[in-house]
Structure 1
Amino acid sequence: MTFDTPLVSIIVPIYNAELYLSECLSSIASQTYQNIEVILINDGSTDRSEEIAENICKKDQRFRLINQTNFGVAAARQLGLKNTNGEFVIHCDSDDLMAERAIEYLYKSITDNGSDIAVGAYTGQCSLGDQFITHHTCDKYEFIRNILTGKYHSSLWNKLIRTELCRDISFDKSINYMEDKLFLSKVLKKDGVEISIINENVYYYRLVASSYTNNISSDSISSSIEVTDKVCNIFQDIYSNEFIAHIKNKNKVMVLLNSQKTQRNIFPESTKYLLEDKNIPLKHKLVILSDLLHMSYPIKLYKFLNSTMSKKVI
């Protein structure tokens, strides 16, 4: 079969995703943009994921399965990237869904705008209902700022990227949480990268407690610190010291509120900017200051109250 459109590579890292994998792969197979290759990286799954992946490969020659020992999602993404043949590349998580016209919309945005990266809207799905997330048109540096502050999701699943931008960079195989944010930052730092944004829905992002991204472990906390440090180093020549300190202080708050770790030795250089940072809430400033003063009770109280409030049904 021949196509008059460029080949698009879709990388799917898989780990114990049997509950969602068939539906995920069906959503990819149903793309209106048909000139795709789908690289399935089975990261040492112990459930039926490999069997499910093998079945679709038998039915659809555009799908290809590669098995590896359980090295983590970053290694899986890197192996997928190494095996891509497409002019463009995008990632899809194995517990999510691609909208039927996702690649069509994203590719059209690139051709219409002469861009290198097309970013699409997506639907976040959780037990409380769906939320449609859009992006505002902005220049590259505003886009990066929104990624760094968390206003925009740093995932790779709603971003179609020219593969040539990815060839000389790689995923850090030791980082399996926020690995996509670090990789995307490396891509965005390149000179001359043009971004286009569309507000058509391209993806359904499921908030699944057992997924890679929602498993907040001690290793994940450590990865978040490492990624924040590396990302801030990447962009320190672009943004002000105050802004970089803000990103680091946000990470300090996350570490305190989501683990038993102290933040006293994490980015100590950013603490001097804390009180003047208008974008860090007062309650979070107090949490950081309490930890700096070795006052554990206010932190425990805040966590307890925050947990109690989140459990209330309104």
Structure 2
Amino acid sequence: MISNNELVSIVVPIYNAEIYLSKCLKSIASQTYEHLEVILINDGSTDGSGDIARSFCETDTRFKLITQVNSGVAAAREKGLRLVQGKFVIHADSDDLMAEKAIEYLYKSIVDNESDIAIGAYTKQCNIGEEFVTHHTCDKHDFIHNILTGKYHSGLWNKLIRTELCRDISFNESINYMEDKLFLSKVLKKDDIKISIINENVYYYRLVTSSYTNNISSDSISSSIEVTNKVCNIFQDIYSNEFIAHIKNKNKLMVLLNSQRTQRGIFPESNKYLLEDKNIALRHKIIIVSDLLHISYPIKFYKLLSSIKFKSSI
């Protein structure tokens, strides 16, 4: 039985976010659902983020500040998760905003549907405009499918989760890119989880786009490969070899288009499924095959054309 006034925990990892942090925390403090605890993890910031976070704690007892040496976003999320006391937990990123009724909407969805996870719509903001993003399935299997293919975002900021589902799951502290996707996959793999969907806006996801290509760090590339491998292992007993190969080949393509790294030795088992994959465009198959054959010109040409097209749209 869920009461109408259960404590909800919000975890906010913070690292050098002084430009955005005050607005982020104001959006949390202004929630219409007031029974909150807000755990701020200052991950070794060297700017004024710590002072901003501390000022919120001094004026609002729901806010709690924990400071640690810089250890990465996964370690910050893990630290916060181990401290939460709420019946439900959600994460917020320090450069984003929560919609005023976010927790009210998500909590009501869980109560009304007796669900374990409530997922809300969100507004994606970038320097060329806004996009309102909704979801269209409550079936867990379909939802996982859409997360794996990238149709749905795996961020934890629009998902209110029953805390007990997270107690035996941890963030891998060596993974600081797509760490949320790996964590969410572990939660979704659990049996008898019920998902509810709402199409009210709960979050403003800020995405500052600086370049179409070559804007992902080497560590992030490595993390994406590791997460893809781990996530595929989690769901390999649910999905076909062809679908798992599709996910791996999509990751290869992402790496090839956003770095200078070859993928010839990565996920070799997925190569035999590439040409028959109807969900990967021919031009993208050419990119992957070119890499396998040690031919770099098609990749460079494609990236050049993509960069020109991106610049012309700004």
TM-score scaled to structure 1, two decimals? 0.96
Partner of 1:140: 140
- Which residue is 2:51 aligned to? 51
Identity rate, percent: 77
CA RMSD of aligned residues (A): 1.3
Tell me, in whole angstroms, the C-alpha distance in 2 between the residues paired with 1:18 and 1:215. Answer: 22
CA contact (8 A) 1:88 1:160 kept: yes
Where in structure 1 are there 5+ consecutive unaligned residues? none
1:156 alignment counterpart: 156
Contact 1:176/1:223 (8 A) holds in 2: yes
Distance 1:215 1:82 in 2: 32
Q: Normalising by structure 2, report the TM-score.
A: 0.96
After the TM superposition, which residues 58-73 of structure 1 pair with which residues of structure 2 at under 5 Å, given as runs? 58-73=58-73
After superposition, the C-alpha distances for 1:214-269 in whole angstroms (9 at most, x for unaligned) are 96200000000000000000000001111000000000101111011001011000
Whole-angstrom CA distance in 2 between matches of 1:102 and 1:13: 19
Decide whether the 8 Å contact of 1:88 with 1:163 is kept in 2. yes
User: How far off is 1:297 after superposition?
Assistant: 1.2
Deviation of 1:127 after TM superposition, in Å, equals 1.1
Find the aligned partners of 1:158 and 1:188 in 2 and give their Cα distance. Answer: 15
1:243 & 1:135 partners in 2: Cα distance?
Answer: 21
- Take 1:244 and 1:313, find their aligned partners in 2: how far apart are those partners? 34
Distance verdict in 2 for CA 1:209–1:59, change over 3 Å:
farther
Aligned residue-pair number: 309
Which residue does the alignment assign to 2:311? 311
Deviation at 1:4, TM superposition (A): 5.4
Deviations 1:276-311 (A, max 9, x none): 000001001001111111011111111111111111
1:313: Cα distance to partner?
3.7
Aligned structure 1 segments of 4 or more residues deviating by more than 6 angstroms: none
1:25 maps to 2:22: no
Q: Partner letter of residue 10 of structure 2? A: I
Distance 1:18 1:55 in 2: 13
- Measure how far apart 1:209 and its partner are: 5.6
Tell me the residue number matched to 2:281: 281
Partner of residue 230, structure 1: 230
C-alpha separation in 2, matches of 1:215 and 1:267: 23
> Do 1:124 and 1:132's aligned partners in 2 also have CA atoms closer than 8 Å?
yes
Point out where structure 2 has 5 or more consecutive residues left out of the alignment.
none
Aligned twin of 2:296: 296
Alignment pair present for 1:176 and 2:182? no
Q: Name the amino acid aligned to 1:277.
A: D
**Matching residue's letter, 2:203:** Y
Is the 8 Å Cα contact of residues 209 and 215 (structure 1) preserved in structure 2?
no
Q: 1:4–1:193: structure 2 CA closer, same or farther, 3 Å change rule?
A: closer
How far apart in 2 are the matches of 1:190 and 1:52? Answer: 38
Aligned to 2:271: 271
Is the CA contact 2:252–2:288 (under 8 Å) kept in the aligned structure 1?
A: yes
Deviation at 1:128, TM superposition (A): 1.1
